[in-house]
């Protein structure tokens, strides 16, 4: 990858990404994000805050004694969580350039509610919703997280049939807006962004084994998703070129912005939790610009 001197620009917007009015139509080249996972307990309160109907149904479900009615309420809540994310997916479609790529890291959820252990297949819901909007679904990546508990097991010991398969992968779903992106012949920025054969062979295989990051920052007052830097770094190298604009509508602690800065891409991030600002500032080293990196960062507080 040849060296290119470029100044990149980065916007971090504290606001709800279901409306991304700060971004023009067809101005983003790649989306890399990890949204809140429906039916994972750590995200329950966020979904209840974003959609009061979820909170209302949750209370109704907890107070319902009829098991059949309770089951229906559980599925209504699950579907409402995905409907709450749907406007973000529509906005992604609007802001992506023709041929732009969206990479969504999502895990399925396992949970015992109403006395029944079950899987909530988040990845399939997101594929269904993206296709409804008009995206083309491309082959996805399975992120296999090495477990610290190799003997973790759910179910009935060694006696069939009531044991459960361990959930040890997450999905990196990949979608494209329309046909492949077009470039001018021998575009210098595209050639400068090339990866090696070794990188190609490793990155474009379907199973990635990457250790997840633990969020232990003392400024975090809530747990945030573990999204290791290696994932956005790979995806940005694979699906964008130097000078492109990267969007993360669920920015969290700023991992995608950090990777975009280091890889000489522009970026935009949305985060609903304003308390994460000092963590983001520290992660992207806003006060300590590194050698060979010329970048500008703007923070926007949406009223």
175-217 tens-digit pLDDT:
999 999 999 999 999 999 999 999 999 999 999 999 876 555 4
- The reported pLDDT for the residue numbered 223 is 47
pTM: 0.93
Residues 40-66 have a mean pLDDT of: 96
Band the pLDDT of 302: cuts 50, 70, 90.
confident
- The reported pLDDT for the residue numbered 39 is 97
Flag whether pLDDT at 256 surpasses 60.
Answer: yes
Flag whether pLDDT at 226 surpasses 80.
Answer: no
Average pLDDT, the chain: 91
**C-alpha span between 267 and 244 (Å, rounded):** 8
How far CA 211 is from CA of 4, 32, 144, 167, 214, in Å, comes to: 31, 18, 8, 15, 9
Structural domains present in the chain: 7-301 (3.40.50.150)
Flag whether pLDDT at 90 surpasses 80.
Answer: yes
- The reported pLDDT for the residue numbered 290 is 58
Which range is least confidently modeled, 109-113, 148-152, 154-158, 169-173? 148-152
**C-alpha span between 33 and 11 (Å, rounded):** 15
Residues facing 294 on adjacent strands? 7
- The reported pLDDT for the residue numbered 115 is 86
Which range is least confidently modeled, 151-160, 227-236, 274-283? 151-160
- The reported pLDDT for the residue numbered 219 is 46
Strands 207-209 and 96-106: unpaired
**C-alpha span between 127 and 125 (Å, rounded):** 5
5-39 tens-digit pLDDT:
899 999 999 999 999 999 999 999 999 999 999 99
Flag whether pLDDT at 75 surpasses 80.
Answer: yes
CA atoms within 13 A on the CB side of 80: 20
Flag whether pLDDT at 161 surpasses 90.
Answer: no
Query: Who wins on pLDDT, 150 or 161?
Result: 161
Neighbours of 211 (CB within 10 A): 11
Residues facing 119 on adjacent strands? 110
Flag whether pLDDT at 152 surpasses 80.
Answer: no
Check if the beta carbon of residue 35 is closer than 8 Å to that of residue 129. Answer: no
Band the pLDDT of 4: cuts 50, 70, 90.
confident
- The reported pLDDT for the residue numbered 159 is 81
- The reported pLDDT for the residue numbered 146 is 73
- The reported pLDDT for the residue numbered 2 is 55
Please compute Rg for the chain using Cα positions. 20
End-to-end CA distance of the chain: 42
Residues 269-293 have a mean pLDDT of: 83
SS3 string, the chain, reads CCCCCCEEEEEEEECCCCCCCCCCCCCEEEEEECCCCCCCHHHHHHHHHHCHHHHHHHHHHHHCCCHHHHHHHHHHHHHHHHHHHHHHHHHHHHHEEEEEEEEEEECCEEEEECCEEEEECHHHHHHHHHHHHCCEEEEEEEEECCCCCCCCCECCCCCCCCCECCCCEEEEEEEECCCCCCCCCCCHHHHHCCCCHHHHHHHCCCEEECCCCCCCCCCCCCCCCCCCCHHHHHHHHHHCCCCCEEEECCCCCCHHHHHHHHCCCEEEEEECCHHHHHHHHHHCCCCCCCCCCEEEEEEEECC
Query: How much of the chain exceeds pLDDT 70, in percent?
Result: 88
């Amino acid at each position: 990858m040849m060296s290119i001197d470029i100044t990149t620009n980065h916007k971090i917007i504290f606001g709800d990404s279901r409306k991304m009015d700060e971004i023009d139509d067809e101005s983003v080249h790649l989306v890399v994000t990890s949204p809140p996972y429906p039916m994972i307990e750590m995200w329950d309160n966020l979904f209840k805050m974003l959609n009061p109907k979820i909170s209302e149904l949750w209370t109704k479900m907890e107070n319902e004694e009829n098991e059949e009615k309770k089951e229906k309420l559980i599925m209504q809540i699950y579907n409402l969580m995905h409907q709450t994310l749907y406007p973000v997916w529509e906005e992604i479609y609007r802001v992506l350039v023709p041929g732009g790529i969206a990479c969504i890291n999502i895990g399925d959820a396992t949970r015992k509610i109403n006395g029944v252990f079950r899987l909530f297949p988040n990845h399939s819901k997101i594929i269904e919703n993206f296709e409804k909007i008009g995206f083309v679904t491309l082959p996805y990546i399975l992120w296999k997280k090495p477990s610290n508990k190799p003997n973790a097991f759910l179910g009935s010991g060694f006696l069939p049939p009531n044991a459960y398969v361990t959930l040890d992968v997450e999905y990196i779903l990949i979608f494209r807006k329309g046909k492949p992106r077009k470039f001018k012949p021998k575009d210098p920025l595209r050639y400068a962004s090339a990866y090696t054969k070794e990188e190609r062979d490793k990155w474009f295989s379907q199973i990635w084994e990457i250790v997840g990051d633990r969020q232990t920052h003392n400024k975090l007052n809530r747990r945030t998703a573990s999204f290791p830097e290696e994932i956005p770094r790979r995806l940005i190298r694979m699906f964008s070129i130097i000078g492109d604009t990267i969007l993360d509508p669920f920015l969290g602690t700023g991992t995608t912005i950090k990777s975009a800065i280091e890889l000489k891409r522009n970026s935009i991030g949305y985060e609903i939790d304003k308390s994460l600002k000092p963590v983001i500032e520290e992660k992207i080293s806003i006060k300590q610009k590194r050698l060979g990196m010329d970048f500008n960062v703007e923070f926007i507080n949406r009223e």
